[in-house]
A = this chain, B = another copy of it.
């Protein structure tokens, strides 16, 4: 058990008097949106809360969180869906194919949210999917408005829609100040994927 606190103090465990299912949006063009969502899944697991992660825009590139969340056992369920980034050069799929995949992910999200099995549902890169018209604004707003009141809903991805931001309780914008790719450094495992 490699966790230590440096002082022999009593640790206080907060419990909110008013449990509240937050709607959280993590947007912006910088590194740290999906990463932050994964951190919430880790933190939630520490509390014994169950998280469902649905990734909307994943392609065929391996990313470490897929094996990382397996270590959290039954507390985290992760569904990697999508056909990679729509509109990016070299991506072989049509818009209709991307949209069909995203629509299946929305249906899955609706089912997981309605199940009541999860205290947290993370829709990773759904903001991009909305921006690219793979899902519709009304679909996203319906997911937010229809969620169980105690369930937290986290939505990530750049270009969050203003109406989604308006509905959310907590919104962070991750701005890129600089990034290693600008120095031609390749993506590094553990940090970038």
List the interface of chain A (C-beta within 8 A of B). Answer: 1-7, 9-20, 22, 24-28, 30-47, 49, 51, 58, 60-74, 76-83, 101, 104-105, 119-120, 152, 154, 165, 168-180, 183, 185-191, 193
Of B35, B70, B188, which contacts A1 at CB under 8 A?
B70
Interface of chain A, main secondary structure: mixed
Q: Are A188 and B64 CB-contacts (below 8 A) given A73-B71, A178-B171?
A: no
A191 to chain B, nearest CB (A): 5
A165 to chain B, nearest CB (A): 7
Q: A14-B61, A43-B65 are in contact. List 16 more A-B contacts (CB 8 A).
A: A6-B80, A6-B105, A13-B62, A14-B187, A22-B180, A32-B32, A38-B43, A39-B40, A40-B190, A42-B65, A45-B64, A45-B71, A46-B65, A46-B68, A119-B190, A120-B191
Give the copy number: 2
**Inside 8 A of A18's CB, which chain B residues have their CB?**
185-186
Of B4, B27, B69, B174, which contacts A42 at CB under 8 A?
B69
